[in-house]
Amino acid sequence: MSENVARRGFLVGGAVLLATGCTSNEPAAAPSSAAPAPAPAASGNDQPGEKVVIGFSAPAADHGWIAAIAKNAEAAAKRYSDVEFKPVEPTNDINQQISAVESLIAAKVSALVILPNDGQQLNQVALQATQAGIPVVNLDRVFPDKLAYRTWIGGDNYGMGVAAGHFVGRKLKEKGVSDPVIVEIQGIATLPLTQDRSKGFADALKTYGFSVTAKQDAKFTVETGNQVATSLLQAHKKIDALWNHDDDQGVGVLAAIKEAGRNEFVMVGGAGSLNAMKEIQSGSSVLQATVTYSPTMASSAVRLARLIAQGKGMSDLVENQVPQSITLASETITKENVEKYLPLGFES
Amino acid sequence: MSEPTPPVRQAAGARGAQADAARTNLLSGLRGVGELRHLGLFVALALLVAVGLVTRPDAFATASNLVSVLSLAATIGVITVGATFVIIGGGIDLSVGAVMALASVWATTLATQSYGPVVMAVCAVLVGTGAGLVNGLLIAYGRLVPFIATLAMLVAARGLAQRMSDRKTQLVQQPDNGAIVSLSTTRVLGIPLLVYVFALVVVLGWVVLNRTTFGRRTYAVGGNPEAARLAGIDVRRHTMLLYALSGLCCGIAAILIMARTTTGSSTHGDLYELDAIAAVIIGGTLLTGGRGTIMGSILGLLIFTLITNLFILNGLNTSDQLIAKGLIIVVAVLLQRRNLKERAP
């Protein structure tokens, strides 16, 4: 009996494979999210040096941002003839990521770049790597234990909220609006990163004497963004400003806004996707700005790992070694500067 | 189409439950709407409306809010119609959300999009129906338990959708394929086209379930497959068709979600299977099959959609919303069990 089932399963599997054959996304030239053309390092840091192997582990992409992280890391490594890039199968399972990192430790890579599914839960294995003499570059989601990593590089969630808050605050002051209706569409409400973003937003708004009227979480997907926005627009007949935490879910939010025919407010996005930048560039959209949380940080992390493994410092700094922690600024993209950011935008 | 075939009549004669089911269906008509078994649902809806009127009198009772509730319900509503058929037929389809996601992704690949909106729509429907057919074949002829077969489809379809889209959100290209999006943006009498699509699917579903041989066979197969078989119904073929029908509904839902979100994505329809099943259960359909109505399922769904709407209008958070939904499922099922006992001879 079980044999029979197995055979059936095999047949079905075959059918599925056949089906995939005719579903390509190829024909039209796939818009290549070309890895951002990086500025050459000021000193000789870009010159080929000692050969290094850089291991890379990140969650599986279920979101444009994470997909861009993996792509950027690989592209950054490819630029250097002295780097051998060793990515492990991305996974959203903590257990699997732990064993993936263990395999990289066993392979004795020169440096590790890790974006953990959860900093707390991967802390132990990062500590093992460090103890084995492998420098760990911790990407974005931070390990709680400073012994576990050599350098942390990541975005600034609080700063993102602050940037959005300042943009909104300034716009509304210009318009002379008093007591504005400000709406916030969050990602996953329970995540610390979401709470940091919301706190930054509220704190920045407070400096203008404003506060958030309503906020609602939308789980980072296009569909949920659309659902939440549809009802929020019903709840508030007149809105002055809207901050949506994430450009990916923003596609759904914008569709809801268009469907409702609303355009009386200023919308700010978050992350910095290509779609969002194009909307901003068009000038005819409610989306007037987005605050970055750029996946280019993966490119930088790989570069840092290379420098650390080769014992080099950052050329613009005085110190001989790479810093312990680098927090990227959240930049505000508007119609005025969008040209400059387009090459950095990621496909959602 | 509307005359019952002799074998079915025999089946009805052969078994009391089926006779009961067949009779109810023959007599139902519009009367079914006001039937006692839906009374509880109407009361629940009325309560929710009252809550809305009290808490947000300005925003709740507006035409545009009503329209947006219906638009929100449309996508999952279409899926719920298909799920009602499957569950009345004694099965379960866990793959609905994933199949819808797959259909939306397949229809929005650059290759498909280059053929224009009509091909995109046809593609979505074919992919949905095809996936449903695979479910049906596995269950009816492969003798897999529905729960397992459709669970496998859930996982595999979601994976295939991710692979095809490379985990990206695929935009519907405008203006070339703007016709798809216009389902959501074009309004007739102030109501978006996709709500009409939803209504059409509900009406068609109701007609098929209550006015055709196919519908009566569905009750018969779900009520007692053995008796149905003895009565000459090709139970396997019918079971297969039920899953294909559910897949077809997912395909139509995929068109609606593309219209609403302007995208195809492997993240669409997450946990739809649970929402659809919950709506069907609240609507009074028995998970064991043989009994249930489209009307009940749609009312169940509207209750869920209204809850979401009320929570957002009042600025309450989503966690409480989940708790409320969980409570409603339990209360609904407890009430139904009491009803069944009271009606039992």
Q: Which residue has the higher pLDDT, B113 or B16?
A: B113
- Quote the ipTM score: 0.74
Assign A337 to helix, strand or coil: coil
Which single residue is written with the structure tokens 């500025």? A39
pLDDT classification of B178: cutoffs 50, 70, 90:
confident
- The B residues from 43 to 72 touching A (CB cutoff 8 Å) are 56, 58-59, 62, 64-65, 68, 71-72
- The B residues from 312 to 331 touching A (CB cutoff 8 Å) are 312-315, 317-319
Q: Judge: A25–B111 Cβ closer than 8 Å, yes or no.
A: yes
Q: Which residue has the higher pLDDT, B185 or A305?
A: A305
The C-alpha atoms of residue B70 and residue B191 are separated, in whole angstroms, by 9
* pLDDT surpasses 80 at B34: no
Residue A62 DSSP symbol? S
Q: Could you tell me if A143 and A228 lie in one domain?
A: no
Q: Which residue has the higher pLDDT, B39 or A38?
A: B39
The C-alpha atoms of residue A315 and residue A310 are separated, in whole angstroms, by 13
> Which of A12, A231, A259 is opposite residue B313, by nearest beta carbon?
A231
Residue B133's CB is within 10 A of a number of other CB atoms, namely 17
Q: Is residue A9 part of a domain?
A: no
The C-alpha atoms of residue A346 and residue A33 are separated, in whole angstroms, by 6
Average pLDDT over residues B61-75: 89
Residue B156: list chain A partners with CB under 8 A: 16
Q: Judge: B62–A234 Cβ closer than 8 Å, yes or no.
A: yes
Q: Closest Cα of chain B to A338: distance in Å?
A: 21
Would you say B241 and B137 are in contact if contact means Cβ atoms under 8 Å apart? no
| Segments of chain A scoring below 50 in pLDDT | 1-22, 27-36
DSSP letters of B45-65?
HHHHHHHHHHH-HHHHTSHHH
Q: Could you tell me if A164 and A222 lie in one domain?
A: yes
Q: Is residue A34 part of a domain?
A: no
DSSP letters of A100-136?
HHHHHHHTT-SEEEE--S-HHHHHHHHHHHHHTT--E
Assign B168 to helix, strand or coil: coil
> Residue B8's pLDDT is what?
43
CATH assignment of the domain containing A254: 3.40.50.2300
> Residue A249's pLDDT is what?
92
Residue B168: list chain A partners with CB under 8 A: 64, 67, 347-348
Run of H or E including A83: strand A83-87
In 3D, which of B245, B266, B316 has the Cα closest to residue B97?
A: B266
Q: Is residue A343 part of a domain?
A: no
Residue A8: list chain B partners with CB under 8 A: 138, 142
> Which of A222, A232, A255 is opposite residue B312, by nearest beta carbon?
A232
Best of A69, A259, A277 to mutate (most B CBs within 10 Å, chain B) = A259
Q: Is residue A321 part of a domain?
A: no
Residue B60's CB is within 10 A of a number of other CB atoms, namely 23
pTM of the model: 0.79
Q: Could you tell me if A91 and A195 lie in one domain?
A: no
> Which of B71, B166, B317 is opposite residue A230, by nearest beta carbon?
B71
pLDDT classification of B238: cutoffs 50, 70, 90:
very high
> Which of B72, B156, B169 is opposite residue A222, by nearest beta carbon?
B169
CA A334 to chain centre: 19
- Number of separate domains in chain A: 2
> Residue A271's pLDDT is what?
92
pLDDT classification of B342: cutoffs 50, 70, 90:
low
Q: Could you tell me if A201 and A279 lie in one domain?
A: yes
Q: In one letter, which amino acid is A347?
A: E
Question: What are the φ and ψ backbone dihedral angles of B87, each rounded to 5 degrees?
Answer: -75, -40
Q: Is residue A341 part of a domain?
A: no
**Closest chain A residue by Cα to residue B66:** A234
Residue B285 DSSP symbol? -
Burial of B333 (0-12, 13-18, 19+ CB in 10 A): middle
> Residue A31's pLDDT is what?
40
DSSP letters of A130-165?
HHTT--EEEESSPPS-GGG-SEEEE--HHHHHHHHH
> Residue A29's pLDDT is what?
40
> Which of A23, A25, A251 is opposite residue B263, by nearest beta carbon?
A251
Instruction: Tell me yes or no: is domain B6-343 CATH 1.20.144.
Output: no
* pLDDT surpasses 50 at B13: no
Range of the domain at A80: 49-155+295-312
Residue-wise pLDDT tens digits, B88-98: 999 999 999 99
Residue-wise pLDDT tens digits, B316-331: 877 888 888 888 888 8
Residue B208's CB is within 10 A of a number of other CB atoms, namely 18
B134 in contact with chain A, both atoms CB, cutoff 8 A = yes
Which single residue is written with the structure tokens 């041989």? B213
Q: Judge: B167–A62 Cβ closer than 8 Å, yes or no.
A: yes
> Residue B301's pLDDT is what?
93
> Residue B258's pLDDT is what?
92
* pLDDT surpasses 50 at B205: yes
> Residue B330's pLDDT is what?
86
> Residue A163's pLDDT is what?
96
Which single residue is written with the structure tokens 């009606």? B343
The ranges assigned to domains in chain B are 6-343
Q: Judge: A24–B109 Cβ closer than 8 Å, yes or no.
A: yes
pLDDT classification of B339: cutoffs 50, 70, 90:
low
Q: Could you tell me if A187 and A250 lie in one domain?
A: yes
Q: Could you tell me if A250 and A304 lie in one domain?
A: no
Mean pLDDT of chain B: 85
Residue B309: list chain A partners with CB under 8 A: 231, 234
**Closest chain B residue by Cα to residue A62:** B167
Q: Enter the tokens of residue A259.
A: 């469907």
Q: What angle do the packed helices A247-260 and A274-282 form, to 10 degrees?
A: 40
> Residue A226's pLDDT is what?
94
B37 in contact with chain A, both atoms CB, cutoff 8 A = no
Q: Closest Cα of chain A to B262: distance in Å?
A: 7
Q: Judge: B109–A62 Cβ closer than 8 Å, yes or no.
A: no
Q: Is residue A166 part of a domain?
A: yes
Burial of B293 (0-12, 13-18, 19+ CB in 10 A): buried
B149 in contact with chain A, both atoms CB, cutoff 8 A = no
The C-alpha atoms of residue A116 and residue A135 are separated, in whole angstroms, by 15
The C-alpha atoms of residue A19 and residue B136 are separated, in whole angstroms, by 18
Q: Judge: B257–A223 Cβ closer than 8 Å, yes or no.
A: yes
Q: Judge: B267–A222 Cβ closer than 8 Å, yes or no.
A: yes
Measured at the alpha carbon of residue A308, what is the angle toward residues A307 and A309, in degrees to the nearest 5? 95
- The B residues from 70 to 109 touching A (CB cutoff 8 Å) are 71-72, 106, 109
**Closest chain A residue by Cα to residue B68:** A230
Assign A326 to helix, strand or coil: strand
Residue A28: list chain B partners with CB under 8 A: 110-111, 114
Residue B63 Cα distances to A228, B60, B66, B121, angstroms: 18, 9, 5, 29
Residue B164: list chain A partners with CB under 8 A: 20, 23, 25
Q: Could you tell me if A107 and A190 lie in one domain?
A: no
Residue A254: list chain B partners with CB under 8 A: 262
